[in-house]
Structure 1
């Protein structure tokens, strides 16, 4: 007879944990670039940013596309200031997105040291995509289509799409890109100006109102005649009243900033009236952008004039003959079209001798 021992059976060794297997481990680690990599943070005009955004959207996934070349010219011997370095960007000619924008840009370094600025990106990991809206809520045959229950509206659980975060290399230079003023730049600005001033619609003005379709309106003709003829100076002595000037078309922010920089390359001090005459822009729009690069002198010989801020002194290039005086205001050209000249001129009145009866 077999003897049964009263013992507890010991289980075998446990298998490996699912988290220890590489196939089941989620690869969500933060990507950190190597210490020898560097990056530049460039502020570009709006039209260039829109073109590059379109290139990025239409580019195949994980495909590198050459958008241009950056030329760094050799600095003068003994020059160590990176902010005076001559740098240009030439866009690629073969991209269709670059067809209607300028191809050459000038770079101005504003910060040449690490400024604790970080740039990162996120993307969905492969095989981790969120379900489309309403994918699991399709109506089945012979199923009532009433108000869905709470579980049908929100589902039993919500899953988060796994993201992969990647850090860009450290930002070592902060640069501002502006249009290079050459023949192509002036031709491009002329095309933009012609497009702004081109007539887009026509209006026909009529001298009178047809009263045949308005019963009773014909009786008012005598009152209209009385009002026009009895007004002082109505028979030729009437002078022109308010004269409305043509309103100026607002420039883009980048173009206005470039125009302001050109102004400060001519004169060191600029009153607002001279800037309005020079730029032909509304005063509020000029002041909004002028506050970024210039400051208003409150006292002294140059009070109520604008001068460049010290941090924007590099706007003045070598060779620019900047006059240490206030910009002159041309007479007869004040205004941008937002104002109306003069007051109402009511015409010439004649003296009438009043005689009383006896």
Structure 2
């Protein structure tokens, strides 16, 4: 059947679509969830990271006794639990030297306190092991069976991800109590251990000390080298001038008195003149001026400071001049020496 010149064809289903088969949903025995009655009850405890690091060198399949827990009731009727660590469970003999030196003084006494009830969190513990009878794909096969002819074969591209080995996973149970394991702070061994870890964290692992034998010849060589390069750049004079011209701040009340005396003489002042009269840093001077004066933005006296009208004394406001005459700079004073002098009879 055609419609508007377009032939309509039905979609043909792929008979090789194996991903839709029901076989993948069959139980292969890789997961085992026992009944609730057969689930184990255990305590889940959080431990410091350095204590977990000490247990990393213990075999995965070994059953070890990490310590003993003592439970007693205090005067309030509450439970108090302490754990005494078993030193032989750490197995530091197979640990690297740096780990062994760091954890040889590990605390032995810990306080165990509950965090929450098992009903408050959804935590499940599983165990897994290899399926019985599993062999890798190339197990027991010679290299000539891998394909190719003679002494060579075509190497197929490999994925960077390794295929996971099928495991037999089984649910063990849920924790009855969730606890936290904290080292005893009042113990001297704990304080010394934590102090060493803090010092190592501050100094780092790359800290080193160079010990050299500085003889009289080395001092003489250094002095000779310093004298050879001493005359390359002469910065002594510049440093002295900068130190002499450096303005030192005076107390704010003294600076305010100086500014009021200047504004009593002239009504308008430029920042250049104020800096020359007060010998104060410009930032400090501008900060103080904002409290008693305002900067004129436009007009004849633009860029000049004028004292606020409420601070002007009424008695002398009529006699104040407009602004002071511009003082000559150091360059202008130097030009006067070149002027010719005339004799007057």
Q: Please state which band the TM-score falls in when normalised by the shorter chain.
A: 0.3 to 0.5
Higher helix share: 2
TM-score by length of 1: 0.43
TM (norm. structure 2) is 0.44
Q: Which has the larger radius of gyration?
A: 2
